[in-house]
Amino acid sequence: MIAIIDYGMGNLHSVSKAVERLGYETIVTGDAEQILAADGAILPGVGAFGDAMEHLRESGLNDVVIRYADSGKPLLGICLGMQLLFASSEEYGDHEGLGLLPGAIVRFRGDYKVPHMGWNRLIYRQKDSPLFSGIDEGHVYFVHSYYAKPERENELLAVTDYHQPVTAIVGKNNVYGMQFHPEKSGDIGMQLLDNFLKMCK
């Protein structure tokens, strides 16, 4: 069973349907016991970092997500959900994140279009990651104005190029994050999601 964590700010339906298409049973839930009992968990997210953390704290789900990560079972953050895994964000002020990954979320700065929106090629930094098993580098779909700056190079699994190397996939032990939307990223996105789900068996 794969838990899609519902804290009031996620693209829950599209993620749930993608997981089901890959042949896995899902439950969309904000219930702590159901989340902690799941074989794998996905933290989606759309919107602002500070609002999302407020929702997580008010519901007590911030502690549930941390407990889940500490259990050793696979956890995947998608888009804003990936950013929430980090220690902090500068989006509309300074905000504390879940702190599962060291590093910060910062805004794109430069004389170019923000948000970063569209199809960009993945460049694997840690090619031996099980996430990339059987998958060539290819294009996935991004929509974001802020990006992650991990503190540890070995936790940066893949980048894309948008006027600079931009964090695309991160991973530390059982905790993973994808800045793009795998469920909206064609065959490669679905293959990446499938490789994550295989870890949950």
* Phi (first) and psi of residue 87, to 5 degrees: -75, -35
Domain 2-199 has CATH 1.10.287.80: no
Where do the structural domains in the chain lie, given as residue ranges? Answer: 2-199
Q: Residue 9 above 90 pLDDT? A: no
Taking residue 137's Cβ as centre, other Cβ atoms within 10 Å add up to 14
What is the set of active-site residues? 79, 181, 183
* Residue 130, CA distances (Å) to 103, 141, 157 in order: 23, 21, 10
The predicted-structure confidence for 69-123, as pLDDT tens digits, reads as follows 999 999 999 999 999 999 999 999 999 999 999 999 999 999 999 999 999 999 9
The predicted-structure confidence for 55-64, as pLDDT tens digits, reads as follows 999 999 999 9
Closest of 165, 198, 194, 166 to residue 180, by C-alpha: 166
What's residue 42's pLDDT? 98
Classify residue 201 as exposed, middle or buried by CB count within 10 Å of its CB (0-12, 13-18, 19+).
Answer: exposed
Please enumerate in sequence order all residues whose Cβ is within 8 A of that of 162, keeping only pairs 6 or more positions apart, or say none: 108, 112, 116, 120, 142
What's residue 10's pLDDT? 79
DSSP string, 63-94: HHHHHHHHTTS-EEEETHHHHHTEEEE-TTS-
